[in-house]
Each structure stands twice: as structure tokens, then as C-alpha cells.
Structure 1
Amino acid sequence: MAEPKYHRVANALRREIQDGTLAPGDRVQAETDLAERFHVSLPTIRQAMGVLRAEGLVESRQGIGTFVKEQRRRQRRSRDRYGRARKDQKLLTTDLRHEITFAGCSPAPDHIAELMMIPRGSEVVIRQRVLFDKKTGRPEEIGASYLPATFARDTFLGEPTVVPKALFLCVEDLSGKQYAHARDQWIVRPASLQESETLEIPANSPVLNVVHVASAGDGQVLEVSESTWPADRIMFVDEYDVEQDAKQPEARSDV
């Protein structure tokens, strides 16, 4: 199915906002200029701008124009992350500064061992990180990745240095397997004391915690990762085609 024209425009402008070409406070081109630039109609441009406004990326000021919002929520588009990283061979999050706070072998926490389908107490390679805004130095995300020791032990993944490309690409190189399936589960909860201190937010502030489980085609779990953000700084976007035929889901949605 061909991508709607307004999606193409919205995606292009979103990339410019995310990579800093359009910085917070910058004025977006006038609708007529955008229509000429993208070779589309004005209604298409207005649809695209409506998408960006709904995502909290831009705001319209009566009689002045449309501007990139100063305080915008970061977006996580889980379905797009792998394909983009395969294409550009870069980190999944390139606009933030990465700091690896721990890397090495250690027993997997119980809930991680369960997700990895390994015995409790099994050693895994753990990589813990904090991500910072490059301009302000503000901590934006904390997280950790847990990798099977069978292929990650005694490799550069056990060193506290930033990897040269997306972690999953490094895992694929070392394991000889490709990521084939991923499952995300997220909850909003109060920040722990350590999370509050690291993210520099008030105690018990709401955070969004995501557990990401990625496995190979043969079912082996290649990575479990956890990421945590202040809840007021992050937005999940899940865009997909709507089923047109009757289908029995594997698990029903409660909401």
C-alpha cells in the first residue's frame, strides 16, 4: 500500500525536528512553501501539520505561523527502530549522549532470567546506561540490556564503552542470528529513589518503564532490555494497518 502523501510530509518534517535541522523555537516554513517543496496540495500540508501538532512536536501561533515546540516529548516508534538502524548502521538513539555506567558478567535478576528462559542465578552480560541531552546535559533515560553469556562473554560488549552501532547489530554479528520477533511491555509507576536521583526528578515522580524482549527465529532470546523515562517527557507512537478480515488474536486487548 502506498504511503499517504501527508504521512510522507509529516515523516520528513519529523526527521528534521528529531535530527535538529529544525530546532526548538524554529519557525516551520509557511504552508504554501511546504506545498511547493513537497509537490502536494495545501490540504495535504494541513493534514501533515495536524499529525505533528497531535504528536506535540509543533504549535501554531495565531497570525504568526507554526513553530517547533520548546518542550516536546521524545517519541519512541518501536516498529521503525530496527529498520532505520539497519539502514544507517548507527545507534538507535543518536541525538542523546550515551554513558555506560556498568558492563560485565553478573547473575541475571530473577525477572530477567524468567524472560530469557534461563535458570535463576545464571550469568548474563549486563550493560547499564544513562542517556543525556547533548545540549543541556539533562539525564533523559536510564536503562540496561541483558545478553546471553554464551556469545557475549569475553567480548567488547563486556567493556564499559559505547558500541559503534546499534547494540542489536553487534549482537547479531556475535551470535550469528538475526532478531526476528520483539515484544514490548510498558507500565507507568513511581520512580525508585535511585531513578529519581539519576534522572534528577522529584521523589516518586511518575516514570514510564519499558521491558523489551527480542528473540531470534528459533525462539532464542537474544536480548532483554529495560528503559525508563520521566513520564512527562516520552510518547509512544504505534502506527499500523488495520485488519480488514476477521482474525482471532493470540491475546485479546483489555483496553
Structure 2
Amino acid sequence: MTFGEQPAYLRVAGDLRQKIVDGSLPPHTRLPSQARIRQEYGVSDTVALEARKVLMAEGLVEGRSGSGTYVREQPVPRRVSRGGYRGSVPSTPFRQEQSEAGARGTWESSSEQEEATSSIAKRLGIQEGDRVMRTRYVFRDAGEPMMLSTSWEPLAVTGRTPVMLPEEGPLAGCGVVERMAAIDIVVDNVVEEVGARPGLAEELLRLGGVPGHSVLVIERTYYASGMAVETADVVVPADRYRITYHLPVK
């Protein structure tokens, strides 16, 4: 193979990919069989199999037990809007994660106390093993799961206060800023770091995704005068959503 020349399996995968993109192989169409690919492209069974594996890894096709491999219908990406805190707008966990005006949705949650792992302790600026409140959320838009979130709050800050449990008590269902303000803590800064990784099996199951697909992860931490009061991992399916930031220009 000379410099710049593609391996045979990538060449085959590229041609099939183009047929999927231009509609020659529309959604729900059966992908040519391994024998057909071998014959049409003059390649070996191994090359044909590897080409199909590439398309499956890219989420363009899916295998159906006892039936074959079919072209997947590709979702049209939707936006998850992020932006600065708007004090005049009542906040909820859903609004906290989807800042677009008029955004409405539902969520399910569960909270429990645990010991901070080394990574969470570092993010919160506490000691490994310190007690934290972990809350897991599933956010839905029109009934469809759109994102997961796991948050951790140091019990040294919220323990024995009315806001110790994020989804119980007088401020149940309010956002972090409002809850902290209720115990005289003023949140004045938030840091978000966005990355991507393969989705964990349990995450994709809850989000209705395809095994092997990637997710976007927003690592977010709220601060009050330099003290971290909450840190969270927000997980969004990368094939169905795009992260959009609205940032004021000063």
C-alpha cells in the first residue's frame, strides 16, 4: 500500500457510507450481504466483514438477529442550550440543564449519601472519603430521555439544612443557585468542561441509545467565593444533540 492509499475495507466502507448519505441505501434498507459485497467490490470475506464493522461502529447500520444488517434512520440533532444564570427566571433542574427560553421538561431523581471518591473530592476541594450527597437525574423532553446527570454536594455545606436533599423539602425542584441562596451561600461562578467518550452500557440503555455510541459529557462545578458547592456530570447522546452556548459579550 502506497502513502495515502486507503486499506480495502475503508474504501468499501466509504463507498457504502456515501450510498447511505445520498439516499441510494435509504433507512431500513438491508445492507448488501457479505457475499454481495465480496462480489461487487472484488474483496475477501475478511475485508467485507471489516467494512460492515466500520459502518456499525459509526452508527450508520445495525444488526438484526437472524435477519441481517440494516441502514439506521439518522436522528436530526437537537440543541441543548447552555448559558449564564438568569436571576429573574425561576430555575428548576430542567432549566438548569437546558437554558433555552421556554424549555419545558420533566425529570426523575434519586439521592443518597456516600463517601467522596478521589476524583469527586478533588473537584469539590474536599478530602477523599468526606460525605457527599449524590443525586442522579434522568431528564425527559416530551417523554423522550434526553440527558442524564449525576451531581455531588458536600454535606459539610448542606448537611443538616433544609436543602440537604435536592428534591425534597421546601426548595425541592429548585436549581442549585436558589437552594444555596436559601442557606445564605451566594453562587457567583460556574465552570463547565465539555468532552466526549464512548457511552457506558447502562447510560445508553437509559437514554435509548445504540451500544458503542459516543456521549457528550459536561463536567460542571458551581462555586461560591471560590468554594465548590456542587459538581455534576451531565451526559448527552452525541448523535442526537448538540451543545449550544449563549455567552454575553462584556
TM-score (norm 2): 0.59
SS, match of residue 239 in structure 2 = helix
Could you tell me which residue of structure 1 aligns to residue 3 of structure 2?
none
Unaligned runs of 5+ in 1: 1-69, 244-255
Q: Which amino acid aligns with 2:154?
A: P
Relative distance call for 1:205 and 1:193 in structure 2 (3 A) is: same
Query: What does residue range 1-255 of structure 1 map to in structure 2 within 5 Å?
Result: 71-79=76-84, 82-83=85-86, 86-91=87-92, 92=95, 93=98, 94-100=103-109, 102-134=110-142, 137-154=143-160, 155-158=162-165, 161=168, 163-174=172-183, 176-217=184-225, 219-240=226-247
Relative distance call for 1:240 and 1:130 in structure 2 (3 A) is: closer
Unaligned runs of 5+ in 2: 1-74
Preserved CA contact (<8 Å) 2:166 2:172: no
Alpha-carbon distance in 1 for matches of 2:232, 2:147: 13
Alpha-carbon distance in 2 for matches of 1:166, 1:145: 12
Relative distance call for 1:160 and 1:229 in structure 2 (3 A) is: same
Preserved CA contact (<8 Å) 2:80 2:244: yes
Larger gyration radius, structure 1 or structure 2: 2
TM-score (norm 1): 0.58
| Alpha-carbon offset, residue 77 of structure 1 | 2.2
Q: Which amino acid aligns with 2:238?
A: A
**Which has the larger share of helix?**
1
Alpha-carbon distance in 2 for matches of 1:233, 1:189: 15
| Alpha-carbon offset, residue 240 of structure 1 | 4.8
Alpha-carbon distance in 2 for matches of 1:125, 1:223: 10
Count of matched residue pairs: 165
Measured on the aligned residues, the alpha-carbon RMSD in Å equals 2.4
Relative distance call for 1:159 and 1:90 in structure 2 (3 A) is: closer
| Alpha-carbon offset, residue 241 of structure 1 | 6.8
| Alpha-carbon offset, residue 150 of structure 1 | 1.9
Alpha-carbon distance in 1 for matches of 2:240, 2:172: 25
| Alpha-carbon offset, residue 72 of structure 1 | 4.7
